[in-house]
Amino acid sequence: MDTHVKRAFTYRFCPADAQAAELSRTFGCVRKVYNMALAARTEAWARQERVNYHQTSVMLTAWKKTEELAYLNQVSSVPLHQTLRHLQTAFTHFFGKRAKYPRFKSRKRSRRSAEYTTSAFRFRDGALALAKMTEALAVVWSRPLPERAKPSTVTVSQDAAGRWSVSLLCEDPSVQPLPATGQAVGVDVGLDHLLALSSGEKIANPRHERRDRTRRLAKAQRSLARKARGEGANRRKARLKVAKIHARIADRRRDGLHKLTTRLVRENQTIVIEDLTVRNMVKNHRLARSISDAAWSEFRSMLEYQAQWYGGEVIAVDRWFPSSKLCSACGTLQDKMPLNVRTWTCDCATTHDRDVNAANNLLAAGPAVTVCGAGVRPQRITPDGQSATKQKPSRREP
């Protein structure tokens, strides 16, 4: 039996007043249940006990019977149980040393969302209706769903800019592996240029945040700073204006990255990148804003899942690999390579563009990583002709 890729199709919608009130109430209950379950598991953890999903599910049943938490019965129970499953997943990642300890959800800063499974929604003839609602949502179907699509989950959310979205998870039979071409490319990310490819092509950095910051964002943020702190209407309007500008920046950035990663995956069967620790790099306050605007982590995430969809491969070379200091022509390793040096000439008389040379070195190192495992680097020759065997230990994230 063929298995198809599951894709999330996201659409905007405008809820009626009653629907907006019901969804806002559901978001609040989801946040409350998540925080209470996290508190219960944290207390048990302090006693050296472990609480799993099934135990928190029993707790939820008991909470609903109390007078103080009786309002939890007013919303659909499915999103409440789903948030307990999400908490279980968060703890699984924590125990597997893939994430930090789960944090409590904030009313102001956390994402407002609720997930419904098949028992809590009805999708028929292009109309989507959720549990506890009598009318279907007014969804703007901006693109068609796969033919005969049957969503397995529906996630409703509202972002900081007040925009409502619904995401339907469906199997998409149109996503099939592409024909094997053997084409490979090395990709070096940067700030001056967003990407440099081993083919010699450079892709400009659009700098979405910087462009809007100089035009509208700075003005909106100054207006927000002048408003008195609290729950006043003027401050709420100013905050919403800032959030809409940030949402516009994020939308444009995401759209550009989707187009770019789709092109790279369709043109190349193997893509070699560098395993950067972005969360450590943004601690450099001089570069943090630019690195965040470039969205290197989001680029890698999109690249990896699209390559998985279409039968490609993404290889991450160890972050300590000296791709910029290594001559891709003769293998000579330079002692230093300051960031302000964009072109340099090796002792073999080869003149390199810093970023393109790094991309070529990454492409050459890719096969070694595939055969021998992550962190393996090719043999390098120092300017004095000696083999560079002493290497820093790999500090890959757990």
Residues serving a catalytic function are 188, 274, 355
CB contact at 8 A, 243 and 157: no
3-state secondary structure of 336: coil
Task: Give the pair of three-digit tokens for residue 111.
Answer: 């994402």
Residue 110 falls in which region: left (phi positive, over 0), alpha (psi -120 to 50) or beta: beta
CB contact at 8 A, 321 and 359: no
Closest CA to 76 of 155, 135, 130, 156: 130
* CB neighbour list of residue 388: distance below 8 Å, 6 or more residues apart: 333, 379, 380, 381, 382
Q: What is the rounded distance in angstroms from the CA atom of residue 160 to the CA atom of residue 149?
A: 30
Length of the chain: 398
Report which secondary-structure segment, H or E, holds 133.
none
Task: Give the pair of three-digit tokens for residue 23.
Answer: 């969804």
Report which secondary-structure segment, H or E, holds 343.
strand 343-345
Burial label for 165, CB within 10 Å (0-12, 13-18, 19+), is middle
Report which secondary-structure segment, H or E, holds 189.
strand 184-189
Task: Give the pair of three-digit tokens for residue 253.
Answer: 């950035």
| Rg, Å, the chain Cα set | 25
Residue 200 falls in which region: left (phi positive, over 0), alpha (psi -120 to 50) or beta: left
